Structure 1
Amino acid sequence: MVPMRTILRTAALTAVALMTATACGGGEGSTAGGEGPAPADADLTVVTGVYPLEWLAQEVGGEGVAVLQLTEPGMEPHDLELTGRQIGELTEADLAFYVSGLQPAVDEAVEQEASDRALDVADVVELHPVGEGGHDHGDDDGHGHEDEHGHDEDGHGHEDEDGHAEEEAQGDGHDHGDFDPHFWLDVDLMATTAQALGERLGELNPDAADEYTANAEAVSADLEAIGREYEEGLASCERNEVVVGHTAFSYLTEHYGLEQVGVSGVDPDSEPSPTQIADIADFVREHGVTTIFTEPLMPEATAQTIAAETGASVEVLDPLEGVTDDSPGDDYPSIMRGNLEALRTALSCS
């Protein structure tokens, strides 16, 4: 009788071969944008589930590493469900590069098929607890303001004068567990991850270890340059409130001393209640906010409604969960720089 593991690996090899023959243009299970070697020709194969990790793996891995992306372009990465072919890719990959808590389907598949060949970013950097670095307006009866807007020194909510219990922020509407996985919006954490990835690839392919190290150092230098641009560009601004629909920007706002304000407790694809819309509109008027940020992968209806009520404009702030035609750039560095310009305009930075 043929062992089940052998059957699975044979099926996986067949799936990867089919994928290699048919993939193109960054689609499901393809090398991003058609770049890089096919898995059969590569020194190593790395599977990722979200764009920033795909970009990082390509930059650190270089020409000899095939990077397979599990999320199709234009698809909300949190909602990813894996096909049999994609599970086969994970089974045969040299490395599964992921951040736990972002994509439950990937977490489960890695645990079952690639636990001994995985690099979890949560083991490399310290992820923020959900709700840290911002607040939401997801409670129909109360406000989720932090610090001067209602939190005590310990960060816990309390009852306001009307007897409404203020609550902690509840994240971005997706079940990420206890930690926010959107670490890639902090360039310092991305640089730390690049170094860890270079080390792991060097362990897997010692002959190219020096190349991976050099690539990781180059990526870190590029990220450091972006960080300097943010520090200088956001050093003097008239406002610091960043109003978003999907509270995915805590790493960015906390790093640069900004305040993230979200229509929170609401999935990016769902509609908030009239009370939530009124609550955020009041905040916008009270603080003189001029811009409501939406995202390439989420509906604009809520942002447009709030803008119509307050006179604010609607602009894109990209959480870098994927690259689309509406992104303010075509890769990680250009999108981060596009986000900086959007923030500078919205916050009236000099």
Structure 2
Amino acid sequence: MKKIWRACFLIILLCCMSLIQRSVMIAQANEPKELNIVTSFYPMYAITKEIVGDLHEVRVLNSRNGIHGFEPSANDIAAIYDADIFIYHSNILESWTKNIALNLKNSSVTLVEASRGMAMQKVTGLEDIEEIEGMDNAALYDPHTWLDPIEAGVEAQLIADCLSELDPDNQETYQANAKQFVEQAEQLVAKYQPIFDKLKQKTFVTQHTAFSYLAQRFNLKQLGIAGVSSDIEPSSKKIAEVQKFVNEYQVKTIFVEPNVSDRAAKVIANATGTTIVALSPLEGDPLNTDPFLVNLEKVLETLSSHLQQEE
């Protein structure tokens, strides 16, 4: 009799263990998948982070420095291939991504070009230059679409759509966050459009001509100081050329990129009587926890306030 009870007990125990194991497997299967999301640089990271919310972690390859001239390390490339999704801005700005696409091999990473479908503008002064085979198109086109709030919203929506396709269980969250981002972008334009419309001085001068999309959105005109390197002291001939430029356009302020050497700009400012003001193209991380559009509004506020002072 004891043997029978012992056998029954073992059978019941095995059944319970089987049920527990099955419950654990079902629970694991129902757990939301943690996506491995990698982005190329600050704007893509910040926008993606707002779309993802608290669902997943988002990694950025290049957080501190500008994206121009950036080349990924071997570790960066490995991180891209190990990711579920890699979000970058464009093949024009990040030409190295073309090699990533050609060498996917066994990687299942989804590549997302956030500016896909956008019509990139040619750099001012290069509009008549035709593309030829073998030419680096990055030199012809201005990639800084994220500085236009509306274009940033377009990129946010594309990112949300790609994430929704990859992770349909969280589609509702991605789309709701994208909708909120687009609405906030439109509100930002609605807030600053009247401010810029009232300005008499609608022309601004930059050392880094990154603001053509912003200028077009708000009916402004961006002028660049050609042939001036940020870290090489300009010659007396170049200073004379800039002085003529300053006089012709009645320039009082020259906007320069923060975290980049302003050595040349200071020499020009001292020689021409202009003021140097930092205006970020938001290529590097601004080292705060503010949402992307809040940091973009700081750019608009800096630009509008100094143009008001020039009237």
Q: Deviations over 1:237-274 (max 9, x none)?
A: 12122111111111111221212111235565555554
Offset of residue 212 of structure 1: 0.4
Max Rg structure: 2
Give the unaligned 5+ runs of structure 2. Answer: 1-31, 131-135
Give the unaligned 5+ runs of structure 1. Answer: 1-40, 136-143, 145-154, 157-166, 169-173
- Report SS of the residue matched to 1:70: strand
- Report SS of the residue matched to 2:112: strand
Offset of residue 345 of structure 1: 2.6
Give 1:124's aligned amino acid: G
Is the Cα–Cα contact under 8 Å of residues 234 and 264 in structure 2 kept in the other structure?
Answer: yes
Matched, 1:257 2:248: no
CA distance in 2, matches of 1:266, 1:105: 27
Matched, 1:243 2:236: no
CA distance in 2, matches of 1:267, 1:64: 43
Give 1:332's aligned amino acid: F
Is the Cα–Cα contact under 8 Å of residues 83 and 109 in structure 2 kept in the other structure?
Answer: no
Offset of residue 317 of structure 1: 0.9
CA distance in 2, matches of 1:196, 1:270: 40
Q: Specify the alignment match of 1:59 in structure 2.
A: 50
CA distance in 2, matches of 1:42, 1:179: 38
Matched, 1:94 2:84: yes
Offset of residue 290 of structure 1: 1.4
Is the Cα–Cα contact under 8 Å of residues 63 and 285 in structure 2 kept in the other structure?
Answer: no
Structure 2 CA distance for partners of 1:83 and 1:259, relative to 1, 3 Å: same
Is the Cα–Cα contact under 8 Å of residues 51 and 174 in structure 2 kept in the other structure?
Answer: yes
Matched, 1:183 2:133: no
Matched, 1:319 2:281: yes
Is the Cα–Cα contact under 8 Å of residues 95 and 119 in structure 1 kept in the other structure?
Answer: yes
Matched, 1:334 2:288: no
Give 1:123's aligned amino acid: R
CA distance in 2, matches of 1:95, 1:317: 32
TM-score normalised by structure 2 residue count = 0.77
Is the Cα–Cα contact under 8 Å of residues 263 and 272 in structure 1 kept in the other structure?
Answer: no
Query: Aligned Cα RMSD in Å?
Result: 2.8
Give 2:45's aligned amino acid: E
Give 2:114's aligned amino acid: V
CA distance in 2, matches of 1:280, 1:331: 37
Is the Cα–Cα contact under 8 Å of residues 100 and 122 in structure 1 kept in the other structure?
Answer: no
Is the Cα–Cα contact under 8 Å of residues 90 and 110 in structure 1 kept in the other structure?
Answer: no
Is the Cα–Cα contact under 8 Å of residues 130 and 179 in structure 1 kept in the other structure?
Answer: yes
Q: Specify the alignment match of 2:120 in structure 1.
A: 127
Give 1:302's aligned amino acid: A
- Report SS of the residue matched to 1:52: helix
- Report SS of the residue matched to 2:57: strand
Percent of aligned pairs sharing the same letter: 30
Is the Cα–Cα contact under 8 Å of residues 163 and 171 in structure 2 kept in the other structure?
Answer: yes
CA distance in 1, matches of 2:91, 2:235: 31
Is the Cα–Cα contact under 8 Å of residues 96 and 110 in structure 1 kept in the other structure?
Answer: no
Q: Specify the alignment match of 1:229 in structure 2.
A: 191
- Report SS of the residue matched to 1:87: helix
Q: Specify the alignment match of 1:30 in structure 2.
A: none
Q: Specify the alignment match of 1:83 in structure 2.
A: 73
Is the Cα–Cα contact under 8 Å of residues 277 and 302 in structure 1 kept in the other structure?
Answer: no
My pick for the range that moved more, 233-242 or 266-275, is 266-275
TM-score normalised by structure 1 residue count = 0.69
CA distance in 2, matches of 1:205, 1:226: 30
Q: Specify the alignment match of 1:117 in structure 2.
A: 110
- Report SS of the residue matched to 1:79: coil
Structure 2 CA distance for partners of 1:248 and 1:271, relative to 1, 3 Å: farther
Offset of residue 88 of structure 1: 1.2
Q: Specify the alignment match of 2:59 in structure 1.
A: 68
Is the Cα–Cα contact under 8 Å of residues 188 and 224 in structure 1 kept in the other structure?
Answer: yes
Q: Specify the alignment match of 1:210 in structure 2.
A: 172
Offset of residue 115 of structure 1: 9.0
Is the Cα–Cα contact under 8 Å of residues 81 and 109 in structure 2 kept in the other structure?
Answer: no
- Report SS of the residue matched to 2:197: coil
Offset of residue 330 of structure 1: 5.0
Q: Specify the alignment match of 2:305 in structure 1.
A: 345
Is the Cα–Cα contact under 8 Å of residues 263 and 276 in structure 1 kept in the other structure?
Answer: no
CA distance in 1, matches of 2:148, 2:207: 19
Q: Deviations over 1:107-137 (max 9, x none)?
A: 4334423796111134232221233xxx5xx
Give the number of aligned pairs: 271
Is the Cα–Cα contact under 8 Å of residues 100 and 181 in structure 1 kept in the other structure?
Answer: no
